Amino acid sequence: MTEVGWSKTAPAQPSRVPPRCPVCDAEEFRVVFSGLRDRQFDLDGDFTLWECGSCGVRRIWPVPEDLARYYPDPYGPHQGLEGLGPRRPWHPLAWRLSFSRNSCVRDAARARIRGNEAAQEMWAYLDRPPRSVLDYGCGSGRFLARLDQIRVPGRGVDFSPAAVERVVARGLRAQVGSYEDLPEGLGVFDVVHLGHVLEHLTDPVTALSAVRAHVAPGGRLAVAVPNAASALAVIFGADWYQLDAPRHLWGFDEPTLRRVFERAGLEVERVVYAGQAGAIYQSLRYALESAGTPASLPDPPDSAIVHGLEALADEWNGQQEGDAILMIGSVRP
């Protein structure tokens, strides 16, 4: 991968150099990596990752005109709901009790549903059960399915008709839409959730400004993105799994994501580092491939190896170097 230094936007080269940065309005960029390729599906094309010289946000430019083809039918986030397990009669009660002021009751209730990812996430930023949740970029509907297990009313929006069709077929509520064309009558929600979605969108500031209108008074907007300043990103460089060119159009760290929130009229309330062992495993696999070593790791990941990497992921999260960020905000008065 090559690094070619700094460039300013020039009318003579509108397709090569990124336009004005939507996060800070700067016009100076440097190439971080060139010659990136699609490592999930091995589709043709090479891509360049740029960094803004002012705020440091990273972006793929130019954006492929045929970006939709890089989301083929096997794309994981649009696929199955393996590992959910059955809905149990005590799930909704345990969810309500998980907000009890009595610490013994609260801890016991949380232990009963600790495998529910939606519940685990919302414990980080809610002090009472939400009445409604919008999952923007719902993909396969996994987050919605987890909400359904604890009887939290959820609704999904996704740009992929095929993904939405699968979600609806599972008895969950979802509609086709984008931040540029949200479904009419969507309403407002106690929680608006974007789980690893913002990095896929062409204009993150406009996107958050659009979905902000659907946060109910006193509600929260929760955004999870890969952390471009994480230990994993620094160590592995172009082999970092979460680079995922060209689907991940943007690379954020905590300061740049804060700036996006602020420009979208949101006030940051909390930041949680939430990197996972699976990303470490996949980055190791990519690095071995790049090195041309005969050693290899299986895909999908070997669960025993992933389990062994969990302590490292937890350590990096504790040091605020995990490779995912969950940022919680509210609408600025």
- Please give the order of strands across the beta sheet that includes 174-176: 174-176, 154-158, 133-136, 189-195, 215-226, 324-331, 266-273
Pairing of β 6-8 and β 28-36: antiparallel
DSSP string, 2-54: ----EEE--TT-TTTS--S-TTT---EEEEEEEEE--TTT--S--EEEEEETT
* 8 Å CB contact between 140 and 197: no
* Peptide bond before residue 183 is cis, with ω within 30 degrees of 0: no
**pLDDT range class, residue 78, cuts 50, 70, 90:** low
pLDDT in tens, 8-54: 443 333 347 898 999 999 999 999 999 999 999 999 999 999 999 99
pLDDT in tens, 253-301: 999 999 999 999 999 999 999 999 999 999 999 999 999 987 788 887 8
Q: What is the mean pLDDT of the chain?
A: 91
pLDDT at site 80: 63
Taking the C-alpha atoms of residue 190 and residue 134, their distance in angstroms, rounded to an integer, is: 8
- For the segment 108-116, the average pLDDT, to the nearest whole number, is 95
* Phi, psi values for residue 270, rounded to 5°: -160, 150
- Cα distances from 238 to residues 169, 241, 309, in angstroms, run 38, 8, 21
CA angle 205–206–207, rounded 5-degree value? 90
SS3 332: coil
Taking the C-alpha atoms of residue 117 and residue 140, their distance in angstroms, rounded to an integer, is: 14
pLDDT in tens, 140-191: 899 999 999 999 999 999 998 988 998 999 899 999 999 999 999 999 999 9
- Tell me the fold of 67-331: Rossmann fold (3.40.50)
Residue type, 79: Q
pTM as predicted: 0.91
Taking the C-alpha atoms of residue 149 and residue 86, their distance in angstroms, rounded to an integer, is: 8
Q: Where are the domains of the chain?
A: 67-331
pLDDT at site 3: 44
- Other beta carbons less than 10 A from residue 209's beta carbon: 16
